[in-house]
Amino acid sequence: MIREKSYEKRQVILASGKTSDFYIDLKHTLLHPRGIFLVGELMASELKTQYEGQLVGVGGLTMGADPIVTAVSMSTLQWSQPLMGFYIRKEPKGHGTQAWLEGMKNLPQGSEVYIMEDVVTSGGSSLKAVERAQMAGLCCVGIFTVVDREEGGRKNIEAQGLKFRSLFTKADILSA
């Protein structure tokens, strides 16, 4: 499904500023009912195996992580302690609370959380999300992405002492 709906062979400039000869736009998969259901179930299943009872929440940068965070949180509803979701804004809210993070009333200070991503290239956006979550008093355990483009993100993230998980890699997508 990712190869069919979200992969394109074309020149693009990535968020990192690098040029690439292919693009993976996961919104097409994540906004499909079957796609988001499967991603939520697969990610929740992996997190349950490793962290059930320890992990309190999942969050990520809006907009790429929003459907993933919601799907994973919903997929944990039957756990003894379901995972709470939170969204990280790219800019603080311009009115009201002026918050960077939404959903914090569900997460006690010091809660262990995972940052969710759609695609990781260099890891820069993921590490910004970690920084914002830590500033809000959360303890980031790691980053979990749907697709790792295998362009240094894993190395950069693990160099910060964070765990890194991916459902798929660029090699998986290209060989599908």
| Residue 169: partners with Cβ closer than 8 Å, 6 or more residues away | 147, 148, 149, 150
pTM, 2 dp: 0.93
**Each residue's pLDDT tens digit, 143-154:** 999 999 999 999
**Each residue's pLDDT tens digit, 58-87:** 999 999 999 999 999 999 999 999 999 999
pLDDT band, very low/low/confident/very high, at 17 (cuts 50, 70, 90)? confident
pLDDT band, very low/low/confident/very high, at 95 (cuts 50, 70, 90)? low
pLDDT of residue 73: 98
**Each residue's pLDDT tens digit, 37-50:** 999 999 999 999 98
pLDDT of residue 103: 94
The amino acid at residue 129 is: A
User: Torsion-angle region of residue 168: left (phi > 0), alpha (psi -120 to 50) or beta?
Assistant: beta
Structural domains in the chain?
A: 39-175 (3.40.50.2020)
Q: Of all helices (H) and strands (E), which one includes residue 153?
A: helix 153-158
